Chains A and B, each alone.
Chain A
Amino acid sequence: MKKIGFKDALPIMAGYFPIAMAYGILAKSVGITMTDGVMFSVFLYAGAAQFMAASMIGAGISEISIIAAVFFMNFRHFIMSASVRARLDKTHRRYYPIIGFFLTDESYSVVSLKKNIDDPGYLITLEVSAYAAWVSGTAAGYLFGMFIPAIITDSMGIALYALFVALLIPAGKQTKSALVVALIAGGLNTLLIRFAGLGQSGSFILTVLSVAAFGTLIKRQFADKKEDNSYES
């Protein structure tokens, strides 16, 4: 299972390494030392929040505002951790802090579509492999950033979104409702970000919870109907 964990991590690593390099380049440019920049990747390990924090540091925004912004941005992981927790056996309890610390959008996306994830060896191998790519990519950004042509770093921005699409499509081929749920969620999230002024993280949380609740209602409605019919016949 550890082997499979590493294999499943490869696409994430391929996306993380260059994006972490881009982070290193940005962090260096706003005056974060290499030690601090790499420490952010080691201890925070949250791509979007790290980019945001570096830009805010560059803009001279206060420490407390940056920490608050990071909190709001990363609160979405609450839902993902709860979702993974529900699929793990209690005997793995001692691994929970590790599995939780290393859980990102990308590792969650890969893991959540797996049939059976109740194996800490698999989960931790996948997560730590991705983590290694993120941390080493950050250092590489500081050290070699100036040698990377802009055309490559600019193009890499699409990689992780392509990863999400590549995860969604096969699942959607199998279960059409999965595709519908994802489309509704994407549409609602776009509307909320554009018009509701909730910010990225607030919109994300509201979207995921309400779309999942809506899906549950519809599903149970249909289940009830089917039961009714069977009684009639």
Chain B
Amino acid sequence: MNHKLILFGAMIVTMLPRILPFFMFDAKKLPDWIQDFLAFIPFAVLGALILPGGLSGLTGHPWASSLCLGVAALIAWLHKGIIGPVIGAVGTAVLLQLGGLL
């Protein structure tokens, strides 16, 4: 097992999709429909990042994971800011474990 070879190969196949798109189209004004399309991408990405991956945020505990993310969502709804929801979710996970519920 050659770890350096894996590292090198994995680096190349990771860099290409990250960097190539920056050079694939010109900065000419994009048509309206492409701009609309690109405007939807962030929300579609967020949705697909949260589900279903978030349900296994606490491995093997989908309901506890949902509860933690629910706490995060509630805090995010009430207060702006990112740190609060993250602390809320992790804190809930710690409490669940301390309470022996996981």
Contact = CB atoms under 8 A, between A and B. Distances in A.
B97 A154 contact: yes
Interface string B48-75: 1111111001110000010011001101
B13 interface: yes
Interface of A: 10-11, 14-15, 32-33, 36, 39-40, 43-46, 49, 53, 57, 60, 63-64, 66-68, 70-71, 74-86, 88-90, 96-97, 99-101, 103, 105, 108-109, 112-113, 151-152, 154-171, 173, 178-179, 181-190, 193-194, 200, 203-204, 207-208, 211-213, 215-216, 219-220
B53 to A, nearest CB: 7
Contacts of B101: none
Given A60-B1, A166-B85, A189-B52, A211 B44 contact: yes
B100 to A, nearest CB: 11
A14 B83 contact: yes
A105 B42 CA distance: 10
Contacts of A108: 42, 45
A162 B48 contact: no
Interface of B: 1-7, 9-11, 13-15, 17-27, 30, 33-38, 40-54, 57-59, 65, 68-69, 72-73, 75-77, 80-86, 88-90, 93-94, 97-98, 102
B27 to A, nearest CB: 4
B102 to A, nearest CB: 8
Contacts of A33: 3
Contact of B37 (A71, A155, A212): A212
B97 A166 contact: no
B38 A83 contact: yes
B14 A82 contact: no
Contact of A166 (B14, B86, B102): B86
Contacts of B7: 36, 39-40, 43-44
Contacts of A207: 44, 47-48
Contact of A78 (B21, B40, B42): B21
Given A158-B58, A185-B46, A215-B44, 8 more contacts: A33-B3, A57-B6, A66-B10, A67-B9, A79-B45, A80-B45, A81-B18, A220-B33
Contacts of B93: 154-155, 157-158
